[in-house]
């Protein structure tokens, strides 16, 4: 997605440790116009009319999922990272390791909010090692719902999450795949790669 790639190149900040900071437009300050374009693009990529629910994970996936859901006319369910004493009843749960925060989260979705009749699109802001996405896939599979695919805003192409998920037969559409990046040479997107 050209507007997204241009924005990443303009405002993304490459930090030591292969960190790409996009917090000025995607996951701290959120550019709602750009996220609207992102939502429209996800609809174009997943035209399947049977998609009836979007699943994401708190926190930074939620805004993107909500804007995107408007193009699908469907509700959003977000997986919760912390065990809240307000969550009652039965939940689907999995564990997700966050390398960013260097800890493992229990992630839960209330069983009442997923059904075997659902055809679910998973939305998230980043795909790197795939832990969060694989966790969400586990939760959906546990519910018996179908997975229409996963819509990712930015995939780190040099990490193996994309390959891991695609090798399980899940369709993954990433709007920007960063193939490599460095402070010296900037960002190379996958489609720009020279062999």
Question: Where along the sequence are the contacts to a copy of itself (CB under 8 A)?
Answer: 15, 19, 21, 23-24, 28-32, 35-36, 58-60, 62-63, 65-67, 69-70, 73-78, 80-82, 84-88, 100-102, 109-110, 112-113
Closest CA to 43 of 4, 72, 74: 72
Q: Quick one: 108 or 172, whose CB is closer to a copy of itself? A: 108
Closest alpha carbon to 34 in 19, 20, 47, 22: 22
* Structure tokens given for 118: 């659902």
| Spatial contact of 4 and 175, defined as CB atoms under 8 Å apart | yes
Which residues is 104 bridged to in the sheet?
97
- Closer residue to a copy of itself (CB): 17 or 169: 17
Q: How far is CA 136 from CA 15, 29, 62, 84, in A?
A: 28, 25, 14, 18
Minimum CB distance to a copy of itself, residue 162 (Å): 21
In the complex with a copy of itself, the residue whose CB is nearer, 87 or 144, is 87
Q: What residues form DSSP beta bridges with 182?
A: 186
CB closer to a copy of itself out of 9 and 29: 29
Find the shortest distance in angstroms from Cβ 1 to a copy of itself. Answer: 19
Residue 61: CB minimum distance to a copy of itself, A: 9
Tokens of 64: 């993107």
Q: How far is the CB of 54 from a copy of itself (least distance, A)?
A: 9
């Amino acid at each position: 997605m050209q507007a997204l790639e241009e924005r990443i190149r303009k405002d993304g900040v490459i930090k030591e440790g292969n960190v790409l900071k996009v917090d000025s437009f995607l996951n701290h300050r959120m550019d709602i116009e750009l996220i609207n374009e992102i939502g429209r693009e996800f609809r174009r990529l997943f035209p399947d009319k049977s998609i009836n629910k979007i699943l994401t994970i708190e926190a930074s996936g939620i805004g993107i999922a909500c804007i995107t859901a408007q193009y699908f006319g469907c509700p959003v369910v977000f997986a919760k990272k912390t065990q809240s004493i307000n969550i009652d009843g039965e939940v689907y749960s999995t564990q997700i390791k966050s390398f960013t925060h260097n800890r493992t989260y229990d992630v839960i979705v209330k069983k009442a909010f997923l059904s075997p009749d659902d055809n679910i699109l998973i939305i998230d802001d980043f795909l790197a090692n795939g832990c969060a996405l694989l966790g969400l896939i586990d939760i959906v599979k546990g519910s018996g719902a179908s997975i229409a695919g996963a819509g990712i805003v930015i995939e780190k192409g040099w990490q193996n999450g994309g390959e891991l998920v695609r090798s399980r037969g899940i369709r993954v559409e990433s709007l920007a795949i960063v193939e490599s990046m460095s402070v010296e040479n900037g960002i190379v997107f996958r489609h720009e790669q020279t062999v």
